[in-house]
Structure 1
């Protein structure tokens, strides 16, 4: 029988621009809030897993980032493990913390993710994304994108991450296969901007219509700027524990606990990138559903990796939340909006809540914990009991280099 693992405390800074705050400042903020949430101090922690993807490139702190940032928070003496897994960094830190508990190596563990990406040099910030694919063979990326999305004759559309071109090629492939439209992409973006307006921690809180999304500045066809995640600073932290850990933390943690049913990760395989047979999101989610003892129809609310609006369309299909090819139409019909059949990204998602890479996966856990506790305010999904988070990172041979699927249940 699998050892039960519980989320006892969560903390998250507002996502946005944090000029004047350091990585240590943001870490302290999120960790302090997570510990306060479960009525604990740093002395209750047996281990910590610290995630950041860009601090080395942007600040030169290539090693011992967690030991430095967490020492400033008061975490000392315990094992601290540094984690980097591209955009899945925070989710990876969470999975490691959960496995530490399940292995019996700790009773209380901390997962924290942080990023300070707005460092006053946009060119340097954009350059960090160039290390999230195989840098030894850049021509392979070009060939893959041409195979997926064909050649597109566009003028220079300005500065953007290479991942916007990647997502655009993936979207064009999906449009060819299923007839997905740019209007459907805009419907996803408009929905998420609407959700974020009710989230006080979101980077962007301005509602947008489908027409406004379509009329915005183009990035790489079919994407426009509001369909894409911004460059964001922020941090999020989660305290997980065993039953013994819950007893140590006390009644407050027990009353607010959320159960971790599954925390599954996987890496892509060699396959035809133009189709979805064997796509790792499909494979990883199947393992997660089996481990959790639930299915897609049981999911009440989901946070998925929408670095672009197309990402949400694709992932809702691969996770089985909607049938293949129905991600876009479902968004247009309102099925994935608050009040719909299966609300997706009630936080506003990466497009609007923001995408501080190392913190994004844990930001999803923060949102879903609030949903399962019934404390999400105007974003609350009525009766939410089963929640799913999907988080992907990097790009390799036609899909994300790593995918995480986490399934939670309200106590």
Structure 2
């Protein structure tokens, strides 16, 4: 039976988040789902390459992007209206059934590209609902003063999923083909369901609306109005969008081209990415253990500026060992600024609006920013890696400067 307790502005939980069984059950469900996601993408890419041409495989991999971007804002409305746990459970159930169904097809026959295309579309639609709901759920399982720790724990789960998921997907493909890998992903999605069902869910406050002073509404316009009128959230959304715009291209396409130019090879590129992952993981661990960072808004802007300098420097480092060290610094600074962005979003948005607020921030990173990847590749071809990394670093620096110039964000604090 679900136990509910009122969520107040200043709750006093008995345990910190990393020792709270309710939070740890949520973390287990989220981690299982994220590992399943990584295994799914390995299985999908392998099956698509084996079933069609490289261009067709690329289309299958990209087909989920359109519904995710188009439906994301509506997914935030649904998460706030119906409750995030219900949406997360439904999303993982649909993903489990869909992936296990495709696994069964690969066991029985060679189905070709059409089921993979349908599966990609299903995942795009489900992601548009899942991502906002995941952002809104922590406020229902712990107190406001623990949300920063939860953000750190969530970051650690993402890093673990990235490290563990892809190798498990590759192992599944090697041992049993796409059917085995799809089956493993489907089982992990299913594992999250009993953990989600066991959560103790807290009620929302009756006086939502925060700075606007108005009752929390159920529509998209109400959520956008909440962001626009909020002295911290409004500039924070801009900072997140700018940092994603400057960060994603260089650390994806740009890094691949840089490693090729330097002669580092795939293993060298993997070492640089590992350095970034270690730094970002350390930043998430810091937030998970400490629970808050004093003067969070100021630290956010300063670390974003420092990370921008490191991003620009990466293109001019000739040796692999030095590049790994610079990547570790990027991961630490960018990881801390990213974790603080998430923590400030979680603690300053009214819980009744968190689905819509998460949808807006996720739309910029998952809907618009991926468009910079082909542009980054084309720009490197025209001007080389150095100018492109410097331009990307300038955009990240602009995000930090903007954060410093907006006084409410610069003075923003995490709950004690």
Is TM-score (shorter-chain normalized) higher than 0.5?
Answer: no
Q: Larger % of helix: which?
A: 2
TM superposition score normalised by structure 1: 0.27
TM superposition score normalised by structure 2: 0.27
